[in-house]
Amino acid sequence: FTYVSNAVLATLLAGSRPLRGEVMNVGTGDRTSINDLASSIARACDAAHLAPVHVGTRAGDVRDSLASIDLARSLLGYEPNDDLDAGLRETVDWYREAYASSGNS
């Protein structure tokens, strides 16, 4: 999981390098569980008191996400600008402002 500004940064860095056919991950470099993601979303929405409802595990469920960004670091000099919490907060703030300015407050 990552915020769009990190993906944009990596894309701009890749466009400025003479690389061809390289495949690399872009992310924060931090392991994020689905529970961590749910908590981060709740905090960003000022709803930290809400807790997820857990159900049984299903085949194919993802427990957590960690994309190694080592190759992007070494080939692009990539370092993420925004952590997941900051990105979620910025996203929620943008949606709140867009909703309010649309007259739907």
pLDDT of residue 46: 94
Among 34, 87, 30, which residue's Cα sits nearest to residue 64? 34
Average pLDDT (8-37) is 93
- CATH number of residue 45's parent domain: 3.90.25.10
Average pLDDT (59-79) is 92
User: Which residue range(s) make up the domain with 53?
Assistant: 4-101
Average pLDDT (41-57) is 90
This prediction has a pTM of 0.79
- How many domains does the chain divide into? 1
